[in-house]
Structure 1
């Protein structure tokens, strides 16, 4: 009986670690052009269940926000539908395009992975600036809840065993 409870608690804990986050943060800094040193940051999400893991795939973003040069960009501002791009299950980066009469902003995916993905900004009457960005996963609330449930179950087992 005790073995069964311990196994269940461990399974809950491992399941929480295996949960995939579908929301991500990104941040970067321009490393070329007249806006050298300017930073940008944002977040995006997509439905990861739609990822097949084979071939070239572009998943539509369900949310997107970018803060750059005091301006906030979102899904509704995009000139084309923004996507998260993959090749054989490997994340390549984001595709996002924004064009206005005064400037053009693009986020472009990498060739082999996200390490060479970049943001490019070009004022209509100016020189372009560009820079790479880094991405980090944001745990979903359900992942946190599952982790907490696993830890509570383990704590209860240890406490019972001591009593």
Structure 2
């Protein structure tokens, strides 16, 4: 019976720390249009990628998710042109993101820009992109961590009562 309690406690601890090994990390990015008729207007977004793929220290990965809010429109990974998306890295840190939405007069380009990421549209508007340095925790990571804490608390309270 004691072995079962120890096994359950170990399982609960693994559940608690599994959130730290979550594969997807979400980063925020944003900026302000600097040149063009839309100068002063801001844009923002998020992207995530599978961190486990960074083990080989690649310079470029495909995003798992991508959203960009600009001029009242939300652009997503699903609406980007096929093969146009990617994340640039320097020493394991994301430093740029690439995506293209549309090729007509309403086209939009998010580019790594050789170390100076930017957003541009076909109307000549241009703005620099800043990527936040700290990852945003995934909701699933928080839920998994809380479930692990609850399981450990339950096991400890049963242990004291028994």
Taking structure 1 as the reference length, what is the TM-score of the superposition?
Answer: 0.68
Mark the CA change 1:152 to 1:25 in structure 2 (over 3 Å): closer, same or farther: same
**Is 1:41 aligned to 2:44, yes or no?**
yes
How high is the TM-score relative to the length of structure 2? 0.68
Segments of structure 1 that go 5 or more residues without pairing to the other structure are none
Number of residue-to-residue matches in the alignment: 154
- 1:41-61 C-alpha deviation (Å, 9 max, x unpaired): 3343444444443242x2223
**What is the CA deviation profile of residues 118-162 of structure 1, one whole-angstrom value per residue up to 9, with x for unaligned ones?**
323350xxx432032334435153x34431331112211332244
> CA separation in 1, counterparts of 2:75 and 2:11?
45
Find the residue that maps to 2:158 and give its secondary structure: helix
SS in 2 for 1:100: coil
State the partner residue of 1:137. 136
Residue-by-residue CA offset, 1:57-99 (whole Å, 9 max, x unaligned) = x222344332211233233342752112224433222111235
How many angstroms apart in 1 are the aligned matches of 2:99 and 2:57? 22
**Which residue of 1 is the match for residue 70 of structure 2?**
68
Flag structure 2 segments of 5+ consecutive residues without an equivalent.
none
Name the structure where strand makes up a greater proportion of residues: 1
